Structure formats: structure tokens, C-alpha cells
Amino acid sequence: MERREFLRGLAAGMFGGTALYLGACATSAPPANAPAPTDAPTEAAQAPAPTEAEPTTQAPAQAQETVEWQMTVSWPSSSEAVFGMPQTVADQVALLSGGRFQIEIAQAGEIVGALEVLDAVQEGTVPIGHTASYYYIGKDMALVFATSLPFGFTPDQQNAWLYHGGGMKALAPIYDQFNVLSFPAGNSGAQMGGWFKREVPTLADLQGLRMRIPGFAGQVMEQLGVVPQTLPAGEIFLALDRGALDAAEWVGPFDDEKLGLPEAANFYYYPAWWEPGPSADCIINRTAWESLSTEFQNILQAACAYSNLYSLARYDALNQAALIRLIEGGVELRPYSDEIMQEAYRISFELYDELAAENEHFGTIYENWRTFREQSNRWFQIGQGSMFKFFEQVSS
């Protein structure tokens, strides 16, 4: 495929395809991507001064604010851990507001499809949604930075960049185009590289392979010879089990086990180089956000940060136990070969350079992202990588 044609296909084809912050929820200022919240209290009506003939009466207390919202999400309720991200947001909002702010969740397909959440929030069909922003790179390629890029950030790096490396600030103008703002509200942690019916040790083994892998990752895989397919979660198992697919990726051990994928294929590859630490987001209609009091804005912001931390910790606990079950059940783990990894890396960064030259939004964020990645990689290789190398030595 010609590179120019590939880039056009990537931009157009996507639709085919922390409690640490909780203590500041009542006083901290919103992050850079949130407008300065406004809260115009209603002036109390002034009663006339009582006369001697009129008994004095106490003015009635002003009713407390109550809000009921509906949230549409990109996840089926059967995917317990990922659906738990928006559920945690809703639970924390209710808890912190003393029940005065309630969010009802509608799973994927109840209001709109899994890949239509941004549209629904932008149009005001619902005031809030929970999704992965890279589903919408057909609208603006720069949205991929909000979720994950091939050979990009680990979960720790992603959160460091978003909260303290300028990531949220850089992404705010992108969301502004759609009359929404966004807060990180979940992270699945390290993922796995998919289920295969047969081993794929070389690039030659990928040629013509039908694999469920949508979006940006699918486009890179296509350059490796794979035929990428886009299927919602509920259809993956049947397609893989019945032979319509040769391979499929979803999330990681826990979610994949829940989906039944170990029953459809036996070779489990790693790592998921295409999304090493993906974020999920709460996106909020700007008009709906501005209608909230400062108190409720702070509560919602804190609930998203809590879900972002809690979901990562939960995934890290669930996945290690699930991986043990899978191995004991006969699943065979396989690493992607250096040949495949090196070629995927080369294709990915050539693509980034070309997109940065052609897309102003992508280019602006990419410069910041790339610098942070280089510095962060050096730190984590020294601070954590050395320990993991030692652990590997003493456990071998």
C-alpha cells in the first residue's frame, strides 16, 4: 500500500474498525483542560420586615442541589473489569455527593453503539460518556494520544504525562472541537498481544492472517501483512471459535478469560506493543459541565481520578491471578519475535513522523509526547528496569 494512501485510510477508517486526588476534591482547581468552573448562587428572596401585627417567621431553607445524569459507555456489562471503570465513577460521585448527584450507566448498544459515545455526548444525547478516545481518530488523529500509541507509554508513564507532563493541557483544544472536555477515568494496565490458532514466529507467518485488531494498531498490523478486522467484544469469541478469524486481541488475561477466548485459540502472545498502557476517558458535554455547581464539578473530577487509579490497581491484581489459571489450563504463552517487534517499531515511528508533518494537531502533541517518552524511558529503565532484570536473574 502506498504510504499516502495508508495515511488517508488510517484517518478515515477508524470507525470501521487517582484516590491521591480525592482529598483535594472539594478545593483543588480543575485541570488545564477544564474551564474555570462558575457557580452563580441564586439570591435568596428578601422578605419584608415584619411589623408588630405580623408574627416573625423563619425563611424556608434553600433546597440542596440534585442532579441525575445518564452515561453511555463503550463497554458491555459482561466485561466486568472494563465496565467497572464507569461504574466506579458513578459510585464515587454518588458517595461524595451524599446521593445528590446520581449517574445511571447504559452499556454499549443501549443508547448508542460502542463507537458512537463521543457523538452522543457532543450532540447532547447524554451529558457524559465513558470510552477510549482512540476510537475517534477518524475525527482527529491526535485523539490517539489520549489512549495509547504503539510502543508508547506504560500505565505509569501515561498517567505521569497526562497529569504532570502537559498531556491533558495539550489534548484540551482537541476535545474543544467537539464541545466536550475529558478526564482520564480508567487504565487497563499492561495488555496481552492476542490469541492465535497457530504459532506466528516470523513475519512470513503473519501474511494473510485474519486478526481482530481495530484502529491504529490494525493499520500497523496491516503493514506487517495481517488482514485486520473490527468486531465488537460480543462477537469476537464466535468469530474466532468458528474460524472466521485466525487471531484476535481484546484486553488481557482477566477480560479475555471472561470473553471465553481461551476456548477458541490456544497460543497467547505478548506483549501488546500497540497499547502498553491505555487510558479510558470520561467525556462530558461542555454545556452540561457548565450547568454543574463548583462542588459537583470537583466531585466528578475527583471520581474520575479515583477510577483511573482504582481500575489500574484492580486490573493488576485480577490479571496476575487469571494468567495463572490460563497457564494451568493449558494455554501456551509465546513472545512476539524480535523480527516482528523490530519491524512493527520501524513502521510505527515512520508513521508518526509523517503524521506529524501532515497533521498540525498531531504534530504539536507528538513533539511533547516524544520528548517526555525519551526522558521517562531513561528514568524507568534505571529506576525499575534494573530491579526487574535482577528479579529475573534470581528467579531463574
Domain regions of the chain by residue span: 195-275+331-374
Asked if residue 108 lies in contact with residue 73, where contact means CB atoms within 8 angstroms, the answer is yes
Beta-strand relationship, 279-285 and 128-131: antiparallel
Asked if residue 162 lies in contact with residue 55, where contact means CB atoms within 8 angstroms, the answer is no
pLDDT at residue 224 in the model: 97
Q: The cell 494451568 sits on which residue?
A: 328
Q: Which helix (H) or strand (E) holds 279?
A: strand 279-285
From the number of C-beta atoms within 10 Å of its C-beta (0-12, 13-18, 19+), residue 98 rates as: exposed
Asked if residue 219 lies in contact with residue 183, where contact means CB atoms within 8 angstroms, the answer is no
Among residues 242, 234, 200, 235, which one has the least CA distance to residue 344?
A: 200
Residue 172 neighbours by CB under 8 Å, 6+ apart: 32, 33, 181
Q: How many CB atoms lie within 10 A of CB 282?
A: 28
Asked if residue 47 lies in contact with residue 56, where contact means CB atoms within 8 angstroms, the answer is no
Asked if residue 140 lies in contact with residue 14, where contact means CB atoms within 8 angstroms, the answer is no
Angstrom distance (rounded) from CA 87 to CA 189: 18
Q: Please give the grid coordinates belonging to residue 111.
A: 443508547
Angstrom distance (rounded) from CA 35 to CA 162: 17
CATH number for the domain formed by residue range(s) 195-275+331-374:
3.40.190.10
Segment 368-377 shows an average pLDDT of 96
Angstrom distance (rounded) from CA 132 to CA 74: 8
Confidence of residue 65 (pLDDT cuts 50, 70, 90): confident
Indicate if the pLDDT at residue 47 is higher than 80.
no
Asked if residue 65 lies in contact with residue 296, where contact means CB atoms within 8 angstroms, the answer is yes
Confidence of residue 20 (pLDDT cuts 50, 70, 90): very low
Per-residue pLDDT of 334-367, as tens digits, reads 999 999 999 999 999 999 999 999 999 999 999 9
Among 7-16, 84-93, 246-255, 340-349, whose mean pLDDT is lowest?
A: 7-16
Asked if residue 209 lies in contact with residue 225, where contact means CB atoms within 8 angstroms, the answer is yes
Indicate if the pLDDT at residue 386 is higher than 90.
no
Per-residue pLDDT of 109-146, as tens digits, reads 999 999 999 999 999 999 999 999 999 999 999 999 99
Among residues 212, 208, 201, which one has the least CA distance to residue 251?
A: 212
Per-residue pLDDT of 287-317, as tens digits, reads 999 999 999 999 999 999 999 999 999 999 9
Bridge partners (DSSP) listed for residue 104: 70
Position with higher pLDDT, 282 vs 7: 282
The mean predicted confidence, pLDDT, of the chain is: 87
Buried b (16+ CB within 10 A) or exposed e, 55-74: eeeeeeeeeeeebebbbbbb
Among residues 86, 176, 95, 91, which one has the least CA distance to residue 132?
A: 86
